[in-house]
Structure 1
Amino acid sequence: MLHQGERAVQRRAGVTADGWGSAGVGAAVPPVAAEFLSLQRLVVIAAADDAGSPWAGALTGPPGFITAPDDRTVVADGLPGAGDPLAGAFDAGRDIGILAIEPSSRRRMRVNGRARRDGGRLVVHTEQVYSNCPKYIQTRTHAGAAPPQGRTARVTGELTAEQRRWIAGADTFFIATRVAGLGADASHRGGNPGFVTVSGARRLTWPDYLGNSMYMTLGNLELEPRCGLLFLDWENGHTLHLTGRARVDWDPARAAAVPGAQRLIDFDVERVVQVTGGLPQRWSFGKYSRFNPA
């Protein structure tokens, strides 16, 4: 299916190849992808709530909690937990984007489709399945389960000082986008700490670095500016979910002031959900990606 948003962004960025992006992505889960999924402990999911606001969240479990029983189905043995903005969202079928990421090897793949709850499982009918390059992924190693802790959620309309410090020190976040009729998508963004800047309690900015020129995230934002962000506290097991609106700034002079930036994205916060105990795992840091601009 031709994605008008992707084509508009590709043309503006100087990409002339036809069939690049969603148009060249298949729906089937190949055996190598099914094997990769079965080894994962963490996937990021993207979906919109009933009001149309996109959110990103995390599903976790031991290897084998994600399976592909056939080439058009992916099953997660788990659902968004209490306090997660997507808790209960899949009682009815809706678009979903899944990013399976293995920080230790810097491998990742994306699965987009339609999902619905089946008991305690999430069943996904796939529509797009593809792998991504390893750029900008910092290595991390699974360090075991988090100690038991009460799971609580705090909901606000803007970022607290503590949350602003969390974001300013982050080297990784995940972004959820969705366009009606074209589906949802979950993607990764990474860089050295400080690559996301915080201006006040409601504005974030990050650089768009050189990637694979598919522009699936920016293509969705071209048609629908609403998106969701997820920051993980890898060491302490907490999650920070934001939803709001993003705008791509194509001003080359502004981008030139940020090392490695092709363009900048400004994000205005509309709602914040911080979940204590939202990530029931511990991950130890390894090293930064060699692709990260200084």
Structure 2
Amino acid sequence: MPKTPPQTAEQPDPGHSPFHAGEQALQRANGSRDRIEMFGRRAIRPYLPDQHRAFFAQLPFVAVAAVDSDGRPWASLFPGPPGFVHAPDAYHLDLALHGAAADPVRQALHPGAAIGLLGIEMHSRRRNRLNGRIKSLNAKQLRLRVDQSFGNCPKYIRHRQLSPSRPTTDRRTARVSARFTQLDGAVRDQIAAADVFFVASAIKAQDNPVIQGVDVSHRGGPVGFVTINGNSLIIPDYRGNNYFNTLGNFLLNPRAGLVFPDFDSGALLQLTGRTALLTQDSPELHGVDDAVGGWRFTLDEGLRLQDALPFRTTAQTQTDQ
């Protein structure tokens, strides 16, 4: 069992719900509200349990989300040698910055900024989420103050093994090779071939424009599970933990950032745009097996970050659902 940190003034009021109004509304709509509230109060912590601290320290990359100066969420993958993510205590996480300076997530980082972080181990299908704020930042490292830490189930994660392709700290080859506002050509081809992407979402405080919370989440399915419709993507939502972290954010703020990793070339396809929630009976989801709803993403801007990942992966099996 993880060790529980001592009670301190830094910990939030235990009577405060771990879910915001958007998440609660969707939980209420599907009849899970009371059950998930009770479970969330036990599972969502304002600190890192010991097993989460150990888990993050062994990872070769993490998914990171941040919001730029125009209020647009972006998602990315930040790589590093095992140990590049380190928790000096249960309330903080240090992250060494080896990613490309041209990455829009890297450019959106600043002290006080809210960011979302997802640790995911592809070969074991374990994943843990962390949301917090940047406490300190320099050219080489950031320190994050933990707001929420919790685990996710391994559904829809495809088994993959990672193999190094170059030194993790070598950033010289990473570059933006294309910027675009239309989904066409090679962009459509990469999305059509994807069985995984990561999505960034964010909400604002109701009484001021400061971003209140940022989240990054994994989305997976069989190849072709993302449908391209003009300059929009249709993404099914499958039955999950009923937290509704991503969709609850969309309900309050429809902006989103997506990143599609190309594990064959090491490139990242990064998109930012706007979303609309879809119900299970929406025509755009017709024929999608097991979908309990979904969402439409419409592109505002995108870029391809070439040679961003210093490893390649080999897929082993089909996605477990």
Q: TM-score, normalised by structure 2?
A: 0.86
Aligned residues: CA RMSD: 1.8
Aligned residue for 2:161? 141
CA distance in 1, matches of 2:40, 2:201: 14
| Residues 64-102 of structure 1: CA deviation (Å, up to 9, x unaligned) | 111100000001111541321123322332000000000
CA distance in 1, matches of 2:21, 2:41: 10
CA distance in 2, matches of 1:90, 1:277: 21
Q: Is the 8 A contact 1:171 1:192 kept in 2?
A: yes
- Establish whether residue 205 from structure 1 lines up as the match of residue 229 from structure 2: no
How far the C-alpha of 1:285 sits from its partner, in A, is: 1.2
CA distance in 2, matches of 1:13, 1:253: 16
CA distance in 2, matches of 1:91, 1:79: 16
CA distance in 2, matches of 1:48, 1:253: 30
Q: Is the 8 A contact 1:110 1:130 kept in 2?
A: yes
Q: Is the radius of gyration larger for structure 1 or structure 2?
A: 2
How far the C-alpha of 1:15 sits from its partner, in A, is: 1.5
Aligned residue for 1:9? 26
Q: Is the 8 A contact 1:249 1:264 kept in 2?
A: yes
| Residues 240-264 of structure 1: CA deviation (Å, up to 9, x unaligned) | 0000011111142534521110012
| Residues 213-266 of structure 1: CA deviation (Å, up to 9, x unaligned) | 111111101100001000000121000000001111114253452111001211
Q: Which of 161, 166, 170 lines up with 2:194 in the alignment?
A: 170
SS of 1:242 mapped into structure 2? strand
CA distance in 1, matches of 2:305, 2:282: 38
CA distance in 1, matches of 2:258, 2:315: 21
- Establish whether residue 78 from structure 1 lines up as the match of residue 97 from structure 2: yes
Aligned residue for 2:11? none
Q: Is the 8 A contact 1:57 1:80 kept in 2?
A: no
Change (3 A) 1:121 1:226: same
Q: Which amino acid aligns with 2:50?
A: P
SS of 1:128 mapped into structure 2? strand
Q: Is the 8 A contact 1:21 1:214 kept in 2?
A: no
Q: TM-score, normalised by structure 1?
A: 0.93
Kindly, what percent of the aligned residue pairs are identical? 36
CA distance in 2, matches of 1:53, 1:152: 21
In structure 2, list runs of 5 or more residues that go unmatched.
Answer: 1-16, 206-211
CA distance in 1, matches of 2:227, 2:55: 33
Q: Which of 115, 130, 142 lines up with 1:122 in the alignment?
A: 142
CA distance in 1, matches of 2:77, 2:38: 28
How far the C-alpha of 1:47 sits from its partner, in A, is: 0.9
Deviates more, 1:92-101 or 1:148-157: 148-157
Change (3 A) 1:268 1:253: closer
Change (3 A) 1:145 1:21: farther
- Establish whether residue 271 from structure 1 lines up as the match of residue 301 from structure 2: yes
Deviates more, 1:258-267 or 1:245-254: 245-254
Aligned residues: 290
SS of 2:190 mapped into structure 1? helix
SS of 2:246 mapped into structure 1? helix
- Establish whether residue 94 from structure 1 lines up as the match of residue 118 from structure 2: no
SS of 2:188 mapped into structure 1? helix
Change (3 A) 1:91 1:251: closer
CA distance in 2, matches of 1:21, 1:88: 36
CA distance in 2, matches of 1:120, 1:93: 17
Kindly report which structure 2 residues correspond to 1:154-165, keeping only aligned pairs within 5 A, or say none. 154-165=178-189
Q: Which amino acid aligns with 1:226?
A: R
Q: Which amino acid aligns with 2:30?
A: A
SS of 1:135 mapped into structure 2? coil
Deviates more, 1:273-282 or 1:146-155: 146-155
In structure 1, list runs of 5 or more residues that go unmatched.
Answer: none
CA distance in 1, matches of 2:138, 2:91: 16
Aligned residue for 1:217? 246
